[in-house]
Amino acid sequence: MQFVLVHGGWQGGWCWDAVAALLRDAGHRVVAPTLRGSEYGAVDRAGITLTDIGDGLVKQIERLGLRDLVLVGHSGGGPVVQYVAERLAKITRWVIFASGWVLRDGESINSVLPVPVVDSVVAAAAASPDNTVPMDPDLWQHGFMGGAPDDVVVATLGRLVPVPIGWLTEPISLSRFWRGDTPTLPASYVLFRDDVATLRSTYATMAERLGVPVVECDGPHEAMLTHPDAVARALLACAQP
């Protein structure tokens, strides 16, 4: 199988390094790209949208000539893999959401998040010079990393980048991903058991949209960084039912 591991906001493909190594050891091909606007360093992130991010990943997959795709989207990467699956359905085998957002046609990520979270990110973007949302260090440590050792928190915090607000606010276009209330491709939902980045009910709603059982996996929102063995096992269980 060809796994395409898609990160969420503030990170890059590096967050999947340990999981990718385990999947390769199990005999699978793996790519974990860094999405447009999530590159480290002095990058112009102003005006980048969900469409820009999705189109960038579609082009990268096509350029690499990948086939038999298992698309894995973590957190805000969920809608990105939906976007890709919509456009590359003929070569997509499975779509897996890992504590990720599952959107209906015409929704944005902000459509499914709790109002206080939406208000916070919109205000943060408005206060920034390039309409991006920085990561709050306390939120990263306690809301995302969930008790990870301090040295791991500090090391990963130093690699984070701001999120273009367009990733969160642009409505997605999905004319073929859904047939009524059912995905047109096989899909799974992995919930990180100790994830407190948002309300548990939000994750439950996302899984209910897919109409599939939840596959639970140890770890906080960033379980790829803290519990890579458990995440790799969960992804393999989903893609090889």
Residues labelled as active-site residues: 75
Residue type, 66: L
Cross-strand partners of 187: 95
With 0-12 / 13-18 / 19 or more C-beta atoms within 10 angstroms meaning exposed / middle / buried, residue 123 is: exposed
Write out the H or E segment, with its range, that includes residue 238: helix 228-239
- R_g (Cα) of the chain, nearest Å: 16
Q: What distance in Å separates the CA atoms of residue 1 and residue 193, rounded to the nearest whole number?
A: 26
Give the position of tokens 């967050």.
Answer: 15
Q: What distance in Å separates the CA atoms of residue 190 and residue 55, rounded to the nearest whole number?
A: 25
- Spatial CA neighbour of 3 closest among 55, 71, 89, 79: 71
Write the CA distances from 69 to 62, 133, 176, integer angstroms. Answer: 11, 31, 17
Q: What distance in Å separates the CA atoms of residue 224 and residue 236, rounded to the nearest whole number?
A: 14
For the chain, the first-to-last Cα distance in angstroms comes to: 13
Q: What distance in Å separates the CA atoms of residue 236 and residue 74, rounded to the nearest whole number?
A: 15
Residue type, 199: L
